[in-house]
């Protein structure tokens, strides 16, 4: 088992006898080490990042290796494992990409603040722009695609990288793309650059409309004026917007939720996503 749950709650291996091993943190090289050990008939209960159930029933709790710093060295996702053309078709002709790992923010409801503590080294890492362009080229020449979705946690988190990406992308590709961003990173200059490069929509997390609740419970410290300014900058640049919201947080009341409704009415996004809070084991909330 790998992913967020096994990273934040590796103890789940003790609760489920059907699990032979769980991965804590990034899994590419632990998985490679595991299959190579299995292929050679070698022991695999000392592989870093893995908790392994031994034959005698005891659990090996191995330490983690540092975060990968050179994520350009990884191969592109193997989209041939599935009918990726059908996946694109059923997702509004969108092809999905991620060009970074980690998030610089520490929202209490999100897994990022907890995952970053599981391994050593830099947590937020971006691939080089040429590497990103190579993957886009591979996908858009192999599949019929109508638009691209760059699903990084915050596409606008690293200004110099975004500047290089936008200037390079508009020279090489004409397909429209969508991104995710934090509202306080969206100035008029940034939004004009995104629009000029081919961006059509920006998805922005609000989560809750109360400044005090966001600050005290969610560790999100932007003001409502900053949120509104981000949406206004998108609108002035001709970018469509989507707001992400969550209902059902601990300590949330109907009156606090009404502030979320009122803030959405103020910013008037083109579309709205409303999620129900689900507590991830291992996170602050």
**CA distance readout (Å), 38 to 44, 62, 236, 245:** 7, 17, 57, 45
Condensed to tens digits (0 to 9), the pLDDT of residues 219-251 reads 999 999 999 999 999 999 999 999 999 999 999
What is the average per-residue pLDDT within 188-199?
98
Task: Give residue 78's region: left, alpha or beta (phi > 0; psi -120 to 50).
Answer: beta
pTM of the model: 0.94
Condensed to tens digits (0 to 9), the pLDDT of residues 152-185 reads 999 999 999 999 999 999 999 999 999 999 999 9
**What are 198's strand-pairing partners?**
none
Q: What is the pLDDT of residue 36?
A: 98
Q: What is the pLDDT of residue 97?
A: 98
Q: What is the pLDDT of residue 32?
A: 97
What is the average per-residue pLDDT within 248-264?
97
Condensed to tens digits (0 to 9), the pLDDT of residues 36-51 reads 999 999 999 999 999 9
Residue 1's pLDDT band (cuts 50, 70, 90): very high
């Amino acid at each position: 088992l790998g992913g967020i749950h096994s990273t934040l709650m590796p103890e789940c291996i003790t609760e489920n006898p059907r699990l032979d091993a769980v991965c804590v943190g990034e899994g590419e090289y632990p998985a490679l080490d595991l299959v190579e050990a299995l292929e050679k008939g070698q022991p695999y209960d000392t592989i870093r990042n893995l908790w392994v159930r031994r034959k005698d029933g005891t659990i090996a709790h191995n330490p983690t290796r540092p975060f990968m710093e050179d994520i350009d060295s990884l191969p592109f996702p193997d989209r041939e494992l599935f009918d990726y053309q059908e996946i694109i078709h059923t997702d509004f002709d969108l092809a999905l990409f991620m060009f970074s790992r980690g998030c610089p923010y520490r929202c209490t409801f999100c897994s990022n603040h907890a995952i970053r503590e599981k391994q050593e080294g830099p947590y937020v890492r971006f691939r080089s722009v040429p590497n990103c362009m190579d993957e886009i080229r591979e996908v858009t020449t192999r599949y019929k695609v109508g638009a691209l979705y760059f699903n990084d946690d915050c596409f606008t988190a690293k200004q110099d990288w975004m500047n290089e990406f936008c200037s390079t992308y508009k020279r090489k590709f004409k397909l429209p793309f969508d991104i995710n961003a934090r509202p306080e990173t969206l100035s008029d200059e940034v939004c004009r650059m995104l629009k000029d490069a081919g961006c059509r929509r920006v998805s922005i997390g609000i989560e809750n409309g109360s400044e005090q609740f966001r600050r005290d419970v969610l560790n999100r410290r932007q003001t409502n004026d900053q949120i509104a300014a981000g949406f206004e900058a998108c609108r002035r640049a001709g970018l469509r917007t989507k707001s992400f919201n969550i209902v059902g947080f601990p300590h949330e009341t109907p009156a606090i939720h009404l502030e979320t409704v009122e803030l959405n009415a103020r910013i008037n996004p083109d579309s709205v996503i409303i999620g129900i809070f689900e507590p991830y084991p291992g996170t602050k909330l």
